[in-house]
């Protein structure tokens, strides 16, 4: 029990420091109050968003902007990553191209994508796809290439065909890195989503909310939006991806 309490205290310590500094700046007015709203004002704004239902609408819009494209990127990263990982010709074809794309930030593609698709949700989907796919593909490739060679020899001795070897040996063996890549991919997609929503405001979402609040000099709303972004990221990290990872690895006997 004591170690658990210690872990909680240490985990919240920096958040407490930030809160103390925030209160200090607000009380001393080192930073003007119109620029940095007080913690109390920000909390009231946050609670108001919850009570009037605005927060739910913002989250639903952001989820609609991210999840369709994210799921598609997971599918293609898994398929292509496995083939590149097991086939040297695929590696020679795709790795130079992937390396070049990976060096370009996903939001750098936004102006070009807008030229073809305009300020639409499809534009955000493409940005999300690029962002998450490029984070996941390397984890899948690395996981596939890192599969224990003895397992592959056993599969050959058991006369498993290529498809059976992939499904029963390669993917389970690469699973820890694949799941880690999906977590990293979602984090990248979530960050890119907010940036894209700030520019493609017609798609709505938390990014638009922060962007429009800034122009209205409502920095209590800006900070509330930032806090919401962080909370959603933490919730998905701890309550979704970590649980899925543990359950999946347990099912395959990897933990």
Q: Reduce the DSSP state of residue 110 to 3 states and report it.
A: helix
pLDDT for 83? 92
Burial environment of residue 223 by CB neighbours within 10 A (0 to 12, 13 to 18, 19 or more):
buried
Domain 62-251 has CATH 1.10.3720.10: yes
The more confident residue out of 229 and 238 is: 229
Q: What is the pLDDT of residues 144-195, one digit of tens each?
A: 998 888 888 888 888 788 888 888 888 888 888 898 899 999 999 999 999 8
pLDDT for 138? 92
Query: How many residues can be counted in the chain?
Result: 255
pLDDT for 28? 85
**% of the chain residues with pLDDT over 90:** 30
Distance CA 252, CA 43 (A): 44
Does the pLDDT of residue 18 top 60, yes or no? yes
For the CA atoms of 70, 191, 213, 35, what is the dihedral angle to 10 degrees?
170
**Where do we find the tokens 């017609």?**
202
C-alpha distances in angstroms, 164 versus 63, 72, 228, 253?
Answer: 35, 24, 44, 18
C-alpha distances in angstroms, 68 versus 49, 64, 91, 205?
Answer: 26, 7, 28, 15
Does the pLDDT of residue 251 top 70, yes or no? no
Domain edges within the chain: 62-251
The more confident residue out of 6 and 236 is: 236
Contact 121, 196 (CB under 8 A): no
């Amino acid at each position: 029990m004591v170690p658990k309490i210690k872990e909680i205290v240490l985990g919240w310590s920096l958040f407490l420091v930030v809160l103390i500094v925030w209160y200090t700046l607000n009380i001393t007015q080192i930073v003007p109050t119109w620029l940095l709203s007080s913690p109390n004002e920000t909390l009231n704004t946050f609670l108001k968003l919850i009570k009037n239902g605005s927060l739910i609408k913002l989250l639903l819009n952001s989820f609609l902007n991210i999840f369709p494209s994210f799921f598609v990127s997971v599918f293609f990263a898994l398929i292509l990553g496995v083939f590149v990982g097991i086939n040297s010709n695929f590696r020679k074809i795709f790795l130079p191209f992937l390396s070049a794309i990976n060096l370009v930030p996903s939001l750098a593609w936004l102006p070009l994508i807008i030229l073809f698709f305009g300020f639409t949700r499809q534009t955000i989907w493409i940005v999300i796809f690029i962002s998450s796919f490029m984070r996941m593909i390397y984890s899948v490739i690395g996981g596939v290439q890192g599969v224990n060679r003895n397992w592959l020899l056993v599969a050959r001795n058991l006369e498993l065909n290529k498809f059976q070897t992939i499904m029963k040996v390669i993917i389970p063996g690469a699973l820890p890195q694949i799941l880690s890549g999906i977590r990293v991919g979602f984090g990248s997609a979530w960050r890119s989503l907010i940036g894209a929503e700030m520019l493609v405001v017609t798609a709505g979402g938390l990014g638009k909310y922060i962007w429009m609040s800034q122009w209205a000099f409502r920095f209590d709303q800006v900070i509330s939006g930032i806090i919401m972004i962080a909370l959603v990221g933490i919730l998905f990290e701890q309550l979704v991806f970590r649980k899925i990872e543990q359950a999946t690895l347990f099912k395959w006997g990897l933990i």
